[in-house]
Amino acid sequence: MWYPLMTAVRPRSIRTGAFAVAVALVVAAGTAAAQSVPNREDALEIRKQFVTDLDTLQKKFLALAEAIPAEKYAWRPAPGVRSIGEAFMHVASEWYVYAPMAYGAARSPVIPRGQEAFKTFESKSTKADVMKHLNEGFAYTKQAVQGVDAAAITGKQKLFGGDRTIIETSFAMTDDLHEHLGQLIAYARMNGVTPPWSK
């Protein structure tokens, strides 16, 4: 499950740094009120940087998923911990549900509501399942996030148990996805697979 505003140390990409700088500049440039709620122009720039970071993440998730042999997808580091395939499917579940919700878009009907539905979805974790859902889930997220009207992303919305701006939800979402990328990189290396972009 995704938990917002997690504080653990997470791996960062150059694009994440650029995204953080862009949002910091947007926030620093405004008044105290504008710092918490972006105006239309700033909201569009934040969304643009958010989608750019998601694109980078997706490319890495796909490259890593392709590099890991199918027979390794059932491997897990310890009992009760997600397997490689389940961790990838968890990422796909975030493409279908939480990433769209971060911008006030509707979640995909691919995963019904409730924790059991998430567990069932993640349990279907062959390499073929992973490749299908990473692609289809990301396509859903990108279309949903880019389809939200600019006026709808300039205020606060009820999300993740509180009133949040897209500054908060963007950081929380990318933080969590980068954490899962780091997790999957560690899983890959424990199985003798070097991430393709590290060669």
**CATH number of the structural domain spanning residue 84:** 1.20.120.450
More confident site: 18 or 69? 69
Domain-located, residue 6: no
CB under 8 Å to 131, separation ≥6 — which residues? 62, 65, 66
Distance CA 112, CA 121 (A): 9
Domain-located, residue 155: yes
Domain-located, residue 7: no
* Least trusted range by pLDDT, from 59-73, 84-98, 155-169, 179-193: 155-169
Q: Per residue in 96-115, pLDDT tens?
A: 999 999 998 999 999 999 99
Specify whether the CB–CB gap between 10 and 178 falls below 8 A.
yes
CB atoms within 10 A of CB 76: 15
The parent domain of residue 40 ranges over 14-198
Q: Which residue matches tokens 């393709």? A: 196
What is the H or E stretch that residue 164 is in? strand 162-164
Domain-located, residue 5: no
Distance separating the N- and C-terminal Cα atoms of the chain: 32
Domain-located, residue 121: yes
Q: Per residue in 1-54, pLDDT tens?
A: 444 333 333 444 545 555 554 455 444 444 333 347 788 899 999 999 999 999
| Domain total of the chain | 1
User: pTM of the predicted model, to two decimals?
Assistant: 0.81
Domain-located, residue 1: no
Counting DSSP H helices and E strands in the chain, the numbers are 8, 2
Domain-located, residue 9: no
**Entry field: residues in the chain:** 199
Domain-located, residue 99: yes
